[in-house]
Chain A
Amino acid sequence: KQEVTQIPAALSVPEGENLVLNCSFTDSAIYNLQWFRQDPGKGLTSLLLIQSSQREQTSGRLNASLDKSSGRSTLYIAASQPGDSATYLCAVLYYGNNRLAFGKGNQVVVIP
């Protein structure tokens, strides 16, 4: 089964610290991996998409890495701010599938 796991389910960090969120997946035959942000009562917003041929993607304070051999992706958020408080979800598109496999997310609170 092609599973996506995000641990821990929830975490808190002081403002200014770097955030590190991990995503693991069970099958290395991925087409791409996406990181999303979800605010309470809202839909998901795409943050970064990493193609299978890429090792990382960057957007502003966000950086996502991909290691297919170990089945892991890491989302780094530099110098966290209270506005970064949200749930972050990882999703994998596997070859041969037309749909994403989602992790259950990391609920993040940045403490002022």
Chain B
Amino acid sequence: NAGVTQTPKFRVLKTGQSMTLLCAQDMNHEYMYWYRQDPGMGLRLIHYSVGEGTTAKGEVPDGYNVSRLKKQNFLLGLESAAPSQTSVYFCASTGQGNQPQHFGDGTRLSIL
């Protein structure tokens, strides 16, 4: 099983550019999450989805948009990248009930 796959793994952007990060899971999970991880700040939730066609804001949603058009995919978009969005982005998914979250290997994003 591939589990949770994130693409791309690395990306460098210039301020003002846009991009989309893709997360795909093959475990038929209902819930999907986007986090960012920064030194000293821990993991912070950006947006999440409780099922196909749904999205909700997390702790730090500003500057990001998401879409969950298919159950297996969760897209994170940056409309106009800013240096403050330089971070490592993790996607995770889980099923209903007492199931652990499964994480992807992350996307390292640098914005110059």
Determine if A46 is an interface residue (Cβ-Cβ < 8 Å).
yes
**A41 CB contacts on chain B under 8 angstroms:** 106
Partner-B contacts on A (CB < 8 A): 31-32, 34, 36, 41-46, 49, 51, 89, 91, 98-100, 102-105
Q: How far is the CB of A89 from chain B (nearest CB, A)?
A: 7
Chain A residues within an 8 Å CB radius of B42? 102-105
Secondary structure type dominating chain A contacts: strand
Task: Return the contact of A42 from the options B33, B40, B101, B105 (Cβ within 8 A).
Answer: B105
On whether the beta carbons of B48 and A98 are closer than 8 Å, the reply is yes
Query: Given A32-B98, A49-B98, A89-B43, A99 and B58 touching (CB < 8 A)?
Result: yes
- Contact bitstring B11-46, A, C-beta under 8 A = 1, else 0: 000000000000000000001010000001111010
Tell me whether A102 and B101 are in contact (CB under 8 A).
no
